[in-house]
């Protein structure tokens, strides 16, 4: 199972919006709505930010939103804040009854 | 409150085996699957497999089949991940993570703090 494809890095200024893409295949993102996004700060465990394509767990800011079209999922962060600087990973359930992650995207807040 | 606490860092020699523990508390242990995910230095996340703590059934990623074994001890609410025939490429932080919903879900909401495993001669 190949990793989902994410851009290696994105950046934005405070207050701006950024979008991170996550491209899979018909065997994962394209078939299942079991797509999630995780935020990881250096040296810390990942944190669930989005599940089931668009849903935010309790406590996650509504500045985080997500969507999916075909084989590509996207995470948008609006009103960028310094604390958003982190690595972001998408994940999907797959036709092989396994899970696959994206390669990760480093977000830099300028 | 839900807590997932892993065992400490380990240094292993190539060819050896590794066993990492993951102790859960604050919820009904048997009904939430536990996954194992690893992260090599500077790299992304990699799903290794899962265990259903209720019956002990497991599902492993193909690349780890034959080398990984996940078990549980319901009396102590602890899950174990054993990886054999270690090689340098297995150097990574190993995480356990709980399913978000009971009886099988697709997302991981509570993560352990991670266990750094270094494989070196």
Mean predicted lDDT score pLDDT of chain B: 97
Q: Compute the nearest-CA separation of B4 from chain A (Å).
A: 11
Question: Residues of B near A (CB-CB distance < 8 A)?
Answer: 35, 37, 43-47, 59, 61-62, 95, 97, 100, 106-109, 111-114
Q: Compute the nearest-CA separation of A81 from chain B (Å).
A: 23
Determine, for residues A34 and B109 on separate chains, whether the beta-carbon distance falls below 8 Å. no
d(CA B24, CA B63): 27
A85: left (phi over 0), alpha (psi -120 to 50) or beta: beta
Which chain A residue lies closest to B6 (C-alpha atoms)?
A45
Question: Which residues in chain B have Cβ-Cβ distances shorter than 8 Å to A103?
Answer: 44
The pLDDT assigned to B27 comes to 96
Which chain B residue lies closest to A2 (C-alpha atoms)?
B46
Q: Does A64 touch chain B (CB under 8 A)?
A: no
pLDDT digits (tens, 9 = 90+) for A40-96: 999 999 999 999 999 999 999 999 999 999 999 999 999 999 999 999 999 999 999
Tell me the CA distances in angstroms from B76 to A88, A108, B35, B118, one per residue in order.
33, 42, 18, 27
Determine, for residues A1 and B62 on separate chains, whether the beta-carbon distance falls below 8 Å. yes
d(CA A106, CA B16): 34
d(CA B46, CA A96): 15
Q: What is the token pair recorded at A36?
A: 């999630």
Sheet hosting strand B3-6, strand order edge to edge: B3-6, B18-25, B78-83, B68-73
Which chain A residue lies closest to B96 (C-alpha atoms)?
A45
pLDDT digits (tens, 9 = 90+) for B74-118: 999 999 999 999 999 999 999 999 999 999 899 999 999 999 999
Mean pLDDT in residue range A7-15: 97
Tell me the CA distances in angstroms from A94 to A33, A53, A68, B59, B108, one per residue in order.
10, 14, 15, 13, 15
Could you tell me if A72 and A21 are in contact, meaning their C-beta atoms sit under 8 angstroms apart?
Answer: yes
Say which residue the tokens 């892993």 belong to.
Answer: B6
The three-state (H, E, C) secondary structure of A65-107, written as one string: EEEEECCEEEEEECCCCHHHCEEEEEEEECCCCCEEEECCEEE
């Amino acid at each position: 199972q190949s990793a989902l494809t994410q851009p290696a890095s994105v950046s934005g200024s405070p207050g701006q919006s950024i979008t991170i893409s996550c491209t899979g295949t018909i065997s994962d993102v394209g078939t299942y709505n079991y797509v999630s996004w995780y935020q990881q700060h250096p040296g810390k465990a990942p944190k669930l930010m989005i599940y089931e394509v668009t849903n935010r767990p309790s406590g996650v800011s509504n500045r985080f939103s997500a969507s999916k079209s075909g084989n590509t999922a996207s995470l948008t962060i609006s009103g960028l804040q310094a604390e958003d600087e982190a690595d972001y990973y998408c994940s999907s359930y797959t036709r092989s009854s396994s899970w696959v992650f994206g390669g990760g995207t480093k977000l830099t807040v300028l | 409150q839900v807590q997932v606490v892993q065992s400490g860092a380990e240094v292993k020699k190539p060819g050896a085996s590794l066993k990492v523990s993951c102790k859960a508390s604050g919820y009904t242990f048997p009904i939430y699957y536990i996954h194992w995910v690893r992260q090599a230095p500077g790299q992304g996340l990699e799903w290794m497999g899962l265990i259903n703590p209720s019956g002990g059934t497991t599902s492993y990623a193909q690349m780890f089949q034959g080398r990984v074994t996940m078990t549980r001890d319901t009396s102590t609410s602890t899950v174990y991940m054993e990886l054999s025939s270690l090689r340098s490429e297995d150097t990574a932080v190993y995480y356990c993570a709980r399913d978000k919903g009971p009886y099988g879900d697709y997302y991981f909401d509570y993560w352990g703090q991670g266990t750094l495993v270094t494989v070196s001669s």
